[in-house]
Structure 1
Amino acid sequence: MLFRNRFLLLLALAALLALLSLSLQFFHLIPVSVAKNGASSKSRKRIMPDPVTEPPGMDPVYEALLYCNIPSVAERSMEGHAPHHFKLVSVHVFIRHGDRYPLYVIPKTKRPEIDCTLVADRKPYHPKLEAFIRHMSKGSGASFESPLHSLPLFPNHPLCEMGELTQTGVVQHLQNGQLLRDIYLKKHKLLPADWSPDQLYLETTGKSRTLQSGLALLYGFLPDFDWRKVYFRHQPSALFCSGSCSCPARNHYLEREQRRQYLLRLRSGPLERAYGDMARILDVPTKQLRAANPIDALLCHFCHNLSFPCARGGCIGMDHFRAIKAHQMEDERERRERKLYRGYALLGAHPLLNQTVGRLLRAAEGRREGAFALYSAHDVTLSPLLSALGLVEARFPRFAARLVLELWQDREGPGGHAVRVLYDGADVTRHTAFCQDGRGRWPTPMCPLDNLVRFVRRDMLEALGPGGGSTSYYEACHRKGL
């Protein structure tokens, strides 16, 4: 009997491992368009690794795979978790757009052939994709702040245009929206069934990929929403700084940070050798290759499981990709140590955080507007926010990254409100700069709203000013002697 039980256990384990192996094959391989000569791109050599567990050290290929954020069946998240006596009042969501086509072209190579039309039965798949396409087709008369009304509401080119959202990017945010719907609407009833337009705040930059990402998340969150109740505001700046974008001190910090990056590149022998070898393969000057920002295009090949490009001198390989990605990781490590970026982040993120605090305070007073706010943005939006909040160990914003601020009311303490901060589903509240007391981290799972208000309206400015610190954002931006 004991032998039989062991045999059955081993048989079950073998079946489980076989299922896991098959799942990895299907979940990590994304079909791409058919090549012009009629041969399927799937016949080419695949480059996507299949990591089952996170490697013990910082591995460049694994980090790149996390950056791709390939849509999966389910994702664990901590959004909406709170003690039973807390009531959810307001949610602010800051997202990076989903997977996109590259912004740069590698010299003397063919553009990666990726189809940016949406096909409901093509991987990556989402059950709401076909309904999303139909709903977007009905939205031409929707209300968008100029110039958003001139942008397409979903990607629709057989060969992607530069920077265009892909089907992968749409599915990523449909998943984000559905996840948030299950938590905030079905569980916490954040919005009533007859929600009004003032309970929804939507803002995006003027790029099609951010508008389309915002619409995909919104559709996952509110399927078949009434177009008459939706209004997307346009934000001209990637920092969402509105009328507070003029800030000489912020630009000064950015210049110093860019200088640090430049000097680090000069000191990196592996990076220089990788660029030199790639330039030889492509038969172009090394300076021209650097200017083409090859990592942007290589990440597209990697995330879509396409072979790296070739030229008459050979092919770019995984070793080149690994060297460039490893340098990016080294750059992020040095950035944390040198802290020049911190000054830029505090000034760059302050206008958006200050606006957010204002909305949270109004929600705490019981006003209806802005129960759910969505800001559809870029990596250069989320990175300063993460740094300004003190989340310096956070990974660089992946495709479809989400940063969430939740406002809760403590029903056992009248008038008491608290906040939670989550990044890609992980609760990072107690790692933020404002969630500290004199002995270290705040002792409860949430932080008082007053902590965040004080941090944004006082502590962020004091951290920037010489001597006694600045008393206003204008003063911090225009101070002398930097």
Structure 2
Amino acid sequence: MDALTALLLLVHLIPVSVAKNGVSSKSRKRIMPDPVTEPPGMDPLYEALLYCNIPSVAERSMEGHAPHHFKLVSVHVFIRHGDRYPLYVIPKTKRPEIDCTLVANRKPYHPKLEAFVSHMSKGSGASFESPLHSLPLFPNHPLCEMGELTQTGVVQHLQNGQLLRDIYLKKHQLLPSDWSPDQLYLETTGKSRTLQSGLALLYGFLPDFDWKKVYFRHQPSALFCSGSCYCPMRNHYLEKEQRRQYLLRLKNGQLERAYGEMAKVVDIPTKQLRAANPIDSLLCHFCHNLSFPCTGNGCIDMEHFKAIKTHQMEDERERREKKLYLGYALLGAHPILNQTVGRMLRAAEGRSEEVFALYSAHDVTLSPVLSALGLTEARFPRFAARLIFELWQDRDEPREHAVRVLYNGVDVTFHTSFCQDHRRRWPKPMCPLDNLVRFVRRDMLVALGSGSTNYYDACHRKGF
């Protein structure tokens, strides 16, 4: 048994203790270090495995947990696409050989995989917003194309969809059996991996759905900013953040040595190798348990991979300590959070039939939202990560509505900026909707320190 296989077994087979009601006694802390499964200190291989999110045992989650007198009104799901083929190639090396057709006897597998393929084959005439109608509905290349969703990625989201089905449909009856198109809102970027991930989750959630009832809207921006994408100050913060990343990299002697050694292996200048972003390809090798690339000059090895991954972890830690990325995140996440708050308010006031919204997106979508919400301990979005906002109505006081926020099945409501102090004053296991509304429409802009209380001004006025 090699070291990677042993680590896979350690991470995926150690059970998590759960109380009788399905809630871990440390459930709110699971985005924090877990003394049972988490190694002491920074472990780049452990973090890389969490990022891979290899489907294994059925996941326990906290979605849908609420006192019996609360009624679920609507659910808003943000996902990162599933496992994909790399976007970059390491020069002068052979591409990783991964089959992007969907095959029943190949791991990872899901009981609905064949039915998913069959159903997608019937959707070739589906009506989606342009340019989505030109994209394939499932991956189907014997050798994956760049950025293509893999079988692992499909299975990850079939699992997500089935988990949400068990909770929101079977337990809470969020949708009736004769649901209407108006009850769903579906939006994706124009990449095949996000559309296919959204379809896989939707199929797990609503098996054999009626194609005539499903309509995916196209979102041109990875920030899902719709008509509010022009924001000069957001770009200003991003440029400063990229400068910070560059300076941190220059200070890391171990990283530079690793890049130098890898460049010698593939016989190209170090600068060219760095520009090829080798970590993207190496993560693919790692997640699929493939040997790292070799040439006549030697091999890229696990120590090189660990050096780059360790630097990524150090970069994420420094990023949390500085405010540059936070400035970018507050402005970058505001449009989609504002849209979500608007949907919640319309649902709470009975002005909308919509009960389930799905945004199929990227790591660069979820990461700013997590940061803007104040979830500083949350890990970088893994493959098939999910961030969910639940809207609840108190049946005892029907005018009262509350929200829960969950990240990869963990209730992080009381870790958010808008609700971390509220728990002491409100005995309910969720947060008043008003807190989220006030945070999005005022407080997250005030936090920039520019004196702005509206998005347009904040985008044009210097803050911290």
TM, length-normalised to structure 2: 0.92
Task: Identify the residue that residue 297 of structure 2 maps to in structure 1.
Answer: 313
Do structure 1's residue 371 and structure 2's residue 386 form an aligned pair? no
- Corresponding position of 1:38: none
Aligned to 2:275: 291
Instruction: Name which of structure 1's ranges 393-402 and 472-481 shifts more when overlaid on structure 2.
Output: 472-481
Go from structure 1 to structure 2 and tell me whether the alpha carbon gap of 1:350 and 1:25 turns closer, same or farther (over 3 Å shift). Answer: closer
1:130 aligns with 2:114: yes
Residue 258 of structure 2: aligned partner: 274
Corresponding residue number in structure 1 for 2:164: 180
Q: What's the counterpart of residue 347 of structure 1?
A: 331
Match of 1:400 in 2: 384
Amino acid at match of 1:476: A
Match for 1:478: what amino acid?
Answer: H
- From the superposition, tell whether residues 24 and 321 of structure 1 become closer, same or farther in structure 2 (CA, over 3 Å): closer
Does the aligned pair in 2 maintain the 1:155–1:166 contact within 8 Å? yes
Question: 1:121 Cα deviation (Å)?
Answer: 2.1
Distance 1:480 1:60 in 2: 37
The CA deviation at 1:28 is 7.4
Give, in angstroms, the shift of residue 57 of structure 1. 1.8
1:350-389 CA distances to partner (integer Å, 9 max, x unpaired)? 0000000000001101234320000000000000000000
Q: Find the counterpart in structure 1 of residue 200 from structure 2.
A: 216
1:407–1:417 CA contact under 8 A, matched in 2: yes
Question: Deviation digits for residues 176-210 of structure 1, max 9, x if unmatched?
Answer: 00000000000000000000001000000000000
The structural deviation recorded for 1:128 is 0.1
2:191 corresponding residue in structure 1: 207
User: Alignment RMSD, CA only?
Assistant: 2.0
Matches within 5 A, 1:65-464: 65-437=49-421, 444-464=428-448
Cα separation, 2, equivalents of 1:93 and 1:428: 15
CA distance in 1, matches of 2:203, 2:93: 37
Partner of 1:40: none
Residue by residue over 1:127-163, the C-alpha shift from the partner in whole angstroms, topping out at 9 and shown as x without a partner, is: 0000000000000111100000000000000000000
In structure 2, how many angstroms separate the alpha carbons of the residues matched to 1:386 and 1:24? 27
Amino acid at match of 1:267: K
Q: What one-letter code is carried by the residue in structure 2 that aligns with 1:384?
A: P
Distance in 2, matches of 1:315 and 1:441, equals 58
How far apart, CA to CA, are the structure 2 residues paired with 1:103 and 1:23? 26
Alignment partner of 1:471 out of 444, 453, 459: 453
3-state DSSP of counterpart to 2:153:
helix
Question: Aligned partners of 2:7, 2:297: CA distance in 1, in Å?
Answer: 37
**Residue 293 to residue 440, structure 1, CA distance change in 2 (3 Å):** farther
Maintained 8 Å contact 2:414/2:420? yes
Asked if the contact 1:200/1:371 (under 8 Å) is kept, the reply is: yes
Supply the AA of the counterpart residue of 2:349. Answer: E
Measured after TM superposition, the shift of residue 437 of structure 1 is: 3.6
* Residues 407 and 419 in structure 1, CA contact (< 8 A), matched pair in contact too: yes
Q: Hey, what's the Cα distance between the residues in 2 that align with 1:409 and 1:140?
A: 39
1:23 positional shift: 12
Cα deviation for residue 27 of structure 1 reads 10
Aligned counterparts of 2:117 and 2:318: Cα–Cα separation in 1: 44
What is the CA-CA distance between 1:53 and the residue it aligns to? 2.7
Residue 3 of structure 1 corresponds to none
Helix, strand or coil at the partner of 1:144: coil
> What residue ranges of structure 2 are gaps of 5+ in the alignment?
14-35
Secondary structure of the corresponding residue to residue 261 of structure 2: helix
Percent identity between matched residues is: 87
Distance in 2 of aligned mates of 1:446 and 1:194:
30
Q: Deviation at 1:465?
A: 4.1
In structure 2, distance between residues paired with 1:251 and 1:473: 14
AA in 1 matched with 2:84? R
TM-score relative to the length of structure 1: 0.88
- The higher radius of gyration belongs to 1
Q: Is the 8 A contact 1:101 1:166 kept in 2?
A: yes
**Tell me, what secondary structure is at the counterpart of 1:203?**
strand
How many Å separate the matches in 1 of 2:10 and 2:221?
39
Deviations 1:383-405 (A, max 9, x none): 00000001011000000000000
Instruction: Assess if the C-alpha contact under 8 Å between 2:413 and 2:420 holds in 1.
Output: no
Contact 1:435 1:442 (C-alpha < 8 Å) held by counterparts:
no
Q: In the TM superposition, what is the alpha-carbon distance from 1:471 to its structure 2 partner?
A: 2.3
Q: Deviations over 1:106-142 (max 9, x none)?
A: 0110000000001122111100000000000000111
**Paired AA for residue 140 in structure 1:** S
Task: Return closer, same or farther for 1:325/1:480 CA change in 2, 3 Å cut-off.
Answer: closer
Give the SS at the match of 1:242: coil
Cα distance change on mapping 1:166 and 1:26 into 2, 3 Å: farther
The answer to whether the Cα contact below 8 Å between 1:430 and 1:442 also exists between their aligned partners in 2 is no
Question: Is the 8 Å Cα contact of residues 449 and 463 (structure 2) preserved in structure 1?
Answer: no
**SS of 2:114 mapped into structure 1:** helix
1:436 deviates by 3.6
1:19-38 matches, within 5 Å, as none
Contact 2:116 2:200 in 1 (8 A): yes
Conservation of the 8 A alpha-carbon contact between 1:430 and 1:441 = no
Instruction: Using the TM superposition, give the Cα deviation of residue 56 of structure 1 relative to its aligned residue in structure 2, in angstroms.
Output: 1.9
**Cα pair 1:345 1:387 within 8 Å, conserved:** yes
Q: Distance in 2 between matches of 1:315 and 1:260?
A: 31
The runs of 5 or more residues in structure 1 that have no matched partner are 1-20, 30-51
